[in-house]
Amino acid sequence: MKEVTIVEHEEVQNNQRLPFYFYHSDQAIQSEHWHQGIELNYLIEGKDLRFALEGKTYHFNSSDIWLVNRRKIHSSSGKEENWEYKGLIIDDDFY
Protein backbone atom coordinates (compact mmCIF):
# COMPACT_ATOMS: atom_id res chain seq x y z
CA MET A 1 0.00 0.00 0.00
CA LYS A 2 1.35 3.45 -0.92
CA GLU A 3 1.95 5.84 1.99
CA VAL A 4 0.10 9.16 1.75
CA THR A 5 1.79 12.32 3.00
CA ILE A 6 -0.34 15.28 3.99
CA VAL A 7 1.27 18.66 3.51
CA GLU A 8 0.26 21.44 5.89
CA HIS A 9 -1.64 24.45 4.57
CA GLU A 10 -0.24 27.65 6.04
CA GLU A 11 -3.05 30.02 6.95
CA VAL A 12 -1.83 33.57 6.40
CA GLN A 13 -3.47 36.52 8.13
CA ASN A 14 -3.03 39.69 6.06
CA ASN A 15 -2.88 43.20 7.42
CA GLN A 16 -6.40 44.63 7.18
CA ARG A 17 -5.22 47.64 5.16
CA LEU A 18 -2.73 45.85 2.91
CA PRO A 19 -3.24 43.05 0.35
CA PHE A 20 -0.27 41.02 1.62
CA TYR A 21 1.33 39.42 4.65
CA PHE A 22 4.88 40.62 5.44
CA TYR A 23 7.40 38.58 7.42
CA HIS A 24 10.99 38.93 8.57
CA SER A 25 12.80 35.85 9.84
CA ASP A 26 16.15 34.50 10.96
CA GLN A 27 15.06 30.85 10.72
CA ALA A 28 15.99 28.91 7.58
CA ILE A 29 14.23 25.69 8.50
CA GLN A 30 10.64 25.51 7.25
CA SER A 31 8.79 22.23 6.85
CA GLU A 32 6.75 21.49 3.73
CA HIS A 33 3.73 23.73 3.43
CA TRP A 34 1.68 25.69 0.91
CA HIS A 35 -0.61 28.72 0.90
CA GLN A 36 -3.13 30.44 -1.31
CA GLY A 37 -1.08 33.50 -2.22
CA ILE A 38 2.10 34.13 -4.20
CA GLU A 39 5.21 34.33 -2.00
CA LEU A 40 8.10 36.68 -2.77
CA ASN A 41 11.33 36.13 -0.77
CA TYR A 42 14.55 38.12 -0.35
CA LEU A 43 17.58 36.59 1.37
CA ILE A 44 19.42 39.47 3.05
CA GLU A 45 22.09 37.45 4.84
CA GLY A 46 23.21 33.84 4.62
CA LYS A 47 24.51 31.37 2.10
CA ASP A 48 23.36 28.14 0.52
CA LEU A 49 19.75 28.33 1.64
CA ARG A 50 18.26 25.16 0.20
CA PHE A 51 14.74 25.80 -1.00
CA ALA A 52 12.67 22.82 -2.16
CA LEU A 53 9.82 23.62 -4.53
CA GLU A 54 7.61 20.85 -5.90
CA GLY A 55 10.40 18.29 -5.44
CA LYS A 56 13.25 20.33 -6.97
CA THR A 57 15.93 21.98 -4.78
CA TYR A 58 17.28 25.48 -5.44
CA HIS A 59 20.23 27.12 -3.68
CA PHE A 60 20.05 30.80 -2.68
CA ASN A 61 22.66 33.17 -1.25
CA SER A 62 22.71 36.73 0.14
CA SER A 63 20.81 39.21 -2.07
CA ASP A 64 18.91 36.52 -4.00
CA ILE A 65 15.19 37.01 -4.66
CA TRP A 66 12.77 34.22 -5.57
CA LEU A 67 9.07 33.71 -6.14
CA VAL A 68 6.80 30.83 -5.16
CA ASN A 69 3.61 30.49 -7.13
CA ARG A 70 0.32 30.03 -5.31
CA ARG A 71 -0.57 26.58 -3.94
CA LYS A 72 2.91 25.13 -4.58
CA ILE A 73 4.41 22.85 -1.93
CA HIS A 74 7.70 24.22 -0.64
CA SER A 75 10.16 24.04 2.26
CA SER A 76 13.60 25.37 3.18
CA SER A 77 16.69 24.15 4.99
CA GLY A 78 20.33 24.98 5.49
CA LYS A 79 23.29 24.67 7.82
CA GLU A 80 23.13 26.52 11.11
CA GLU A 81 24.15 30.06 10.27
CA ASN A 82 23.12 33.69 10.68
CA TRP A 83 20.12 33.97 8.40
CA GLU A 84 18.03 37.00 7.63
CA TYR A 85 15.30 37.12 5.06
CA LYS A 86 12.09 38.97 4.34
CA GLY A 87 9.09 38.01 2.37
CA LEU A 88 5.61 38.87 1.22
CA ILE A 89 2.70 36.55 0.71
CA ILE A 90 0.36 38.41 -1.61
CA ASP A 91 -3.34 37.90 -0.99
CA ASP A 92 -5.05 35.64 -3.51
CA ASP A 93 -7.84 38.20 -4.00
CA PHE A 94 -5.36 41.01 -4.87
CA TYR A 95 -4.39 39.61 -8.23
Strand 74-77 relative to strand 30-34: parallel, antiparallel, unpaired? antiparallel
pTM over 0.85: no
Of 53, 56, 44, residue with least CA distance to 74: 53
Confidence bin at 5 (pLDDT 50/70/90): low
CA distances from 88 to 6, 39, 58, 64 (A): 24, 6, 19, 14
Examine the pLDDT at 21 and tell me if it is beyond 90.
no
With contact defined as beta carbons under 8 Å apart, do 92 and 70 qualify?
yes
Q: 74 versus 3: which is more confidently predicted?
A: 74
Q: How confident is the prediction for the chain on average, in pLDDT?
A: 85
Q: Please give the pLDDT value at position 79.
A: 84
Average pLDDT over every residue of 54-73: 95
Q: Counting runs of H as helices and runs of E as strands, what totals does the chain give?
A: 0, 9
CA 94, CA 91: separation in Å to the nearest integer? 5
